[in-house]
Structure 1
């Protein structure tokens, strides 16, 4: 791999495998050379995935706080510290999930233009090293998990089956994004499990809405690989919907907003939370209007903009907790 001061493409056996912009992120610029392939295996250079895994955790924490306040319950003193704990856990588990995904997909990734420069198919990381790195990240996630109450630990552990099978779904079903949604939305249950030690109706409504949101934004993301996926025989919602993506995307997003509205109503949320949901809905509507499935760069920008949409809703939920 090129060093942090090398602006040009890689040469030698990695030529054409390492992206030309490999030094444009913090990993390429600042990380020690021996760590760079592992950090890229965990997608540390692309934090958007950690954000999208974290945001449902933060939503559920804010909503659980709202319910606890309305019930007059004595909430744990670590309620706000839980936001930081979830952030650490999201980074570790997203990295572990990406590593597991790349272990299973190493042959497919070598045939796809966007992914053939990943550490495993390009030979920058060996299979044994990838498994060891996976174990290290899992241990960090376990350390975070052990800070939670027993009920929350049980809820978190029950997600492992879905997480483990997701990378295989693109070989089996036409909407593997649905299984990704089941896994990536699990945080929508975790705030309730950690603070209330139960799962009220609003938790399941928030979880269901998040699943639809994930299916929507990952369909946008999948349009970057639509042609390559067809060549290697990988299924995706982008291939299934193709030219009909706009109405499907609008439907997924509308369903997400509707379920989030029911969750807010069930939790007794106030004006600021509803304002956050309105901004969230407007941002999703902008994505639908702007989407051009043949513009890969635009698809990536719209996909990444979901972090901002999610944070707008979270900000509204947090403001809703403030005394007027």
Structure 2
């Protein structure tokens, strides 16, 4: 028998479509909830900063930037969690956990998307460009905080809310005090929805050593979430009074409050699927606030 008679079957290389699909899953474009949760605070800030009429060029830059940076955040998150995702039921099918993508690829995706986002910000004033460096730093460090602190959600909230001071700086060239209050409100909101998210994985996280507010709050989780929801809505109501918003904005806050009550109903038994549904419901929560803001400015002209 000669070597030519031996049939060696070579592994099939994935097609470019399969690689593209892997990257889509890596950055979670098939699950856009994170894009919405990042986008709503940015839109709140743009409309408030622009007094109901933000420059559409700036709005477009922020919308595209939100999509790029959330995607970059997913890539670096999976890189940070590459050794634990395979041990968590909800995440064991992620590309790095299954071996469909490599850690090097995840880092490359993070860098490319971050550079594209930075290219967008370069179209704005230099102060906003400077603030974007902080946004990049927060995006990078958040995934690693789950190993060092039980409140990594604070870092997520800062990363997701940093679009607020950036929006005010891009539109007005300054950041008023109430913009920082709006930033804190967005940070509190992140504590709410990401705690609900962490409640889904609580048992698995305890096994693999991942820290979260869901573990920190324990049996007080529902109460703390409820108090945070009230605090956030109270801050938004105060901002509305400060800038002269009226009935439509308050109606949006009322709808959001109703959705907050619905989320409490969902998480009452701490059942993972219901907790995840409560997390997803925050998209409508943020949307209700923005629609109220949009209508209030539209009515005033």
Report if TM-score (shorter chain) is over 0.5.
yes
Instruction: Determine the C-alpha separation between the residues in 1 that align with 2:138 and 2:66.
Output: 16
Query: Once the 2 structures are TM-superposed, how far is the Cα of residue 293 of structure 1 from its aligned partner?
Result: 4.9
Instruction: Determine the C-alpha separation between the residues in 1 that align with 2:28 and 2:103.
Output: 17
Query: Once the 2 structures are TM-superposed, how far is the Cα of residue 197 of structure 1 from its aligned partner?
Result: 1.0
Tell me if structure 1 keeps the 8 A contact 2:22–2:101.
yes
Instruction: Determine the C-alpha separation between the residues in 1 that align with 2:280 and 2:23.
Output: 23
Instruction: Give the TM-score taking structure 2 as reference length.
Output: 0.89
Structure 2 unmatched ranges of 5 or more: 1-15
Aligned to 1:43: 28
Of residues 105, 108, 115, the one that matches 2:81 is 105
Aligned to 2:201: 225
Aligned to 2:170: 194
Of residues 156, 159, 167, the one that matches 1:183 is 159
Q: Which runs of 4+ in 1 moved over 4 A?
A: none
Q: Which moved more, 1:295-304 or 1:53-62?
A: 295-304
Instruction: Determine the C-alpha separation between the residues in 2 that align with 1:300 and 1:184.
Output: 19
Instruction: Determine the C-alpha separation between the residues in 2 that align with 1:294 and 1:209.
Output: 25
Of residues 10, 35, 38, the one that matches 1:53 is 38
Tell me if structure 1 keeps the 8 A contact 2:46–2:167.
yes
Return the structure number with greater helix share: 2
Instruction: Determine the C-alpha separation between the residues in 2 that align with 1:249 and 1:220.
Output: 8
Q: State the Cα deviation string for residues 1-36 of structure 1 (Å, max 9, x = none).
A: xxxxxxxxxxxxxxxxxxxxxxxxxxxxxx932211
Instruction: Determine the C-alpha separation between the residues in 2 that align with 1:103 and 1:289.
Output: 34
Query: Once the 2 structures are TM-superposed, how far is the Cα of residue 228 of structure 1 from its aligned partner?
Result: 0.5
Instruction: Determine the C-alpha separation between the residues in 2 that align with 1:233 and 1:292.
Output: 25
Aligned to 1:123: 99
Structure 1 unmatched ranges of 5 or more: 1-30, 70-74
Tell me if structure 2 keeps the 8 A contact 1:53–1:184.
yes
How many correspondences in the alignment? 285
Aligned to 2:112: 136
Q: What do you get for the CA RMSD once the two structures are aligned?
A: 1.7
Q: State the Cα deviation string for residues 15-60 of structure 1 (Å, max 9, x = none).
A: xxxxxxxxxxxxxxxx932211111110111100011011110000
Aligned to 2:131: 155
Q: Which moved more, 1:304-313 or 1:121-130?
A: 121-130
Q: State the Cα deviation string for residues 262-320 of structure 1 (Å, max 9, x = none).
A: 22222222322222122222211221233135322211111111111111111111112
Tell me if structure 2 keeps the 8 A contact 1:61–1:190.
no
Three-state SS of the structure 2 residue aligned to 1:205 is helix
Of residues 49, 61, 71, the one that matches 1:85 is 61
Three-state SS of the structure 2 residue aligned to 1:174 is coil
